[in-house]
Amino acid sequence: MTSLLPEGERLRLLDVATGTADQILTLMDAAPRITEAVGVDMSEGMLEKGREKIRARGRAEQVQLKTGDATAIPEPDAAYDVCTISFGIRNVENVVAGLSEMRRVLRPGGRALVLEFSQPTARWFRGLYFFYLRHILPVVGGWFSGDREAYRYLNVTIETFPSGDAFCALMRTAGFVNVRAIPLTLGIASIYLGDAAA
């Protein structure tokens, strides 16, 4: 994802649905141009674990974690150079509202990067993938976690959530320009990129 960051030095990053801040720490380690970051999540318990990681990595002066909703991000307009969300947008109740909030907090020329599960387009692989999601993953995941229903939920959200061109259309509706989808691993996940108009 670091190769897709916008141009410039001393970038400010906002990570939405940050959880335990793994995305922030990974990006900051890989891209020293990111000098300041804020993570937002609705789970204070997850954020507290993230704060422990941040302190252990010596990043407490650069990273702040806050409780907040993706559809009402508690940050000012045009405050960030890059806004990310990883495997979280499909759990946002109003996707366009969440994307619009990401657009709002970006400065002109800033960039949103959305990493999310998607649906493979190759017919031969798509059939195998959905068979795995529907029949194998819930069983195996249930054995290890004791919660088969969580894996059934994952399958349903992946199969029903907009992907590819459909998700790009949602980003455009939210006000992004230069929108594109970058499929990963035969399309089982994609990075969606959108810029805030300069």
Q: What is the pLDDT of residues 32-59, one digit of tens each?
A: 999 999 999 999 999 999 999 999 999 9
Reported as a pLDDT band with limits 50, 70 and 90, residue 152 is low
CATH code of the domain in which 95 resides: 3.40.50.150
Residue 22: per-residue pLDDT? 96
Instruction: Say how far residue 69 (Cα) sits from the centre of its chain.
Output: 14
Q: Where is average pLDDT lowest: 52-66, 127-141, 167-181?
A: 127-141
81 in the same domain as 40:
yes
Is 185 in the same domain as 98? Answer: yes
SS3 32: coil
Structural domain harbouring 89: 2-118+163-195
Angle at 47 between CA 62 and CA 90, to 5 degrees: 105
Mean pLDDT of 133-146: 72
What is the total count of domains within the chain? 2
In this structure, the answer to whether residues 49 and 125 fall within a common structural domain is no
Q: Quick one: 51 and 147 in the same domain?
A: no
pLDDT of residue 158: 78
* Eight-class DSSP state of 141: H
